[in-house]
């Protein structure tokens, strides 16, 4: 029995002497691991197509233990991501989220479309200065968190539900998922011990970035609060994922290397 899925390779690992496991995030079946027999051989034709940052149409044969790769065809190739180290890091960040934080066989059309749209946008990016690169990575991750329901929720106070337009002294709490008003912070100091005061401008930026188009991540209007936004976004990411991601470390090293080169 065979079936056809559309998806992208987000990870792979070698198996035995000539085989390889590919982790694919697909529209039809979510995250799925596929055994590809013989793809470690030099002359393997299938291996040449199973590259990251390419949308693939994959035929799988259903085995007793693992689905097996039967055939593959390229659909959309985001080649520019593979050819530029900075873009590769941003794309790799999205793949790592899906690989480490999404359960197996949990399909989500919106999440899949988000991934493909993000690939399309990333490969068009110009060269980014270091702080903007870190911001784009954390903002893409935060947009992903919003899609799966982990905030930040900034439309109303998470405690008293006062609308954001009525909150004159806004705070943001990571442990409770978003905006909290000053009154609630004062009345429940222990509950909102992690709350930090933010400006109305920062609150507006957080609300905007959650659903704004990717192009908005490049606007110069965010420059005055870029560092603060990176801090807040990273706090939410670390809290909800409950693990350290590898890609931010890679991007930090890339930024440091670029600085040394420029000096």
Contact in structure between 119 and 78 (CB atoms under 8 Å)? yes
Ordered alpha helix ranges (H), 109-198 = 109-122, 130-147, 182-187
Using a 10 angstrom Cβ sphere, with 0-12 exposed, 13-18 middle and 19 or more buried, the burial of residue 78 is: buried
Nearest to 91 by CA among 155, 99, 236: 99
Q: What is the pLDDT at residue 26?
A: 98
Residue 60, both tokens: 């799988």
173: part of which helix (H) or strand (E)? strand 171-173
Q: What is the pLDDT at residue 252?
A: 72
Using a 10 angstrom Cβ sphere, with 0-12 exposed, 13-18 middle and 19 or more buried, the burial of residue 226 is: middle
The proportion of the chain whose per-residue pLDDT surpasses 90, expressed as a percent, equals: 75
Strand 178-180's sheet: what is its strand order?
A: 178-180, 171-173, 196-197
Q: What is the pLDDT at residue 65?
A: 87
Ordered domains of the chain (ranges, CATH): 2-78 (2.40.50.140), 126-262 (no CATH)
CA 18/CA 7 separation, integer angstroms: 23
pTM exceeds 0.95, yes or no? no
Q: What is the pLDDT at residue 263?
A: 57
Q: What is the pLDDT at residue 261?
A: 65
List per-block mean pLDDT (blocks of 10 residues) for the chain, which spans 263 residues.
Answer: 96 95 97 95 90 97 91 96 94 92 93 97 93 92 88 93 96 96 96 96 94 94 94 88 70 68 61
CA 254/CA 130 separation, integer angstroms: 9
Residue 147, both tokens: 């899609």
**DSSP one-letter code for 124:** T
Region of 35 (left: φ > 0; alpha: ψ -120 to 50; beta: rest) is beta
CA 74/CA 96 separation, integer angstroms: 22
34: part of which helix (H) or strand (E)? strand 30-36
CA 220/CA 263 separation, integer angstroms: 25
Residue 119, both tokens: 């690939």
Contact in structure between 12 and 56 (CB atoms under 8 Å)? no
Question: Reduced to 3 states, what is the DSSP secondary structure of residue 180?
Answer: strand
């Amino acid at each position: 029995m065979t079936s056809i899925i559309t998806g992208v390779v987000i990870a792979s690992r070698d198996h035995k002497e000539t085989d390889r496991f590919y982790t694919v995030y697909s529209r039809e079946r979510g995250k799925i691991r596929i055994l590809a027999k013989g793809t470690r051989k030099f002359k393997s034709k299938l291996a040449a197509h199973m590259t990251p940052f390419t949308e693939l149409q994959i035929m799988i044969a259903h085995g007793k233990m693992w689905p097996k790769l039967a055939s593959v065809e390229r659909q959309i190739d985001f080649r520019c991501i593979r050819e530029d180290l900075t873009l590769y890091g941003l794309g790799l960040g999205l793949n790592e989220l899906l690989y480490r934080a999404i359960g197996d066989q949990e399909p989500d059309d919106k999440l899949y479309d988000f991934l493909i749209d993000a690939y399309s946008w990333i490969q068009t990016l110009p060269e980014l200065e270091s702080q903007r690169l870190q911001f784009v990575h954390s903002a893409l991750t935060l947009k992903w968190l919003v899609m799966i329901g982990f905030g930040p929720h900034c439309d109303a106070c998470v405690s008293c539900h006062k609308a954001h337009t009525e909150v004159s002294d806004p705070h943001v709490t990571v442990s409770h998922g978003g905006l909290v008003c000053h009154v609630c912070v004062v009345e429940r100091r222990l509950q909102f011990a992690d709350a930090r005061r933010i400006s109305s401008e920062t609150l507006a930026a957080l609300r905007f970035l959650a659903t704004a188009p990717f192009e908005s991540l490049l606007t110069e209007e965010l420059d005055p609060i870029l560092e603060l936004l990176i801090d807040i976004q990273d706090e939410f990411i670390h809290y909800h994922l409950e693990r350290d991601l590898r890609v931010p470390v890679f991007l930090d090293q890339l930024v440091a290397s670029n600085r040394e080169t420029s000096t």
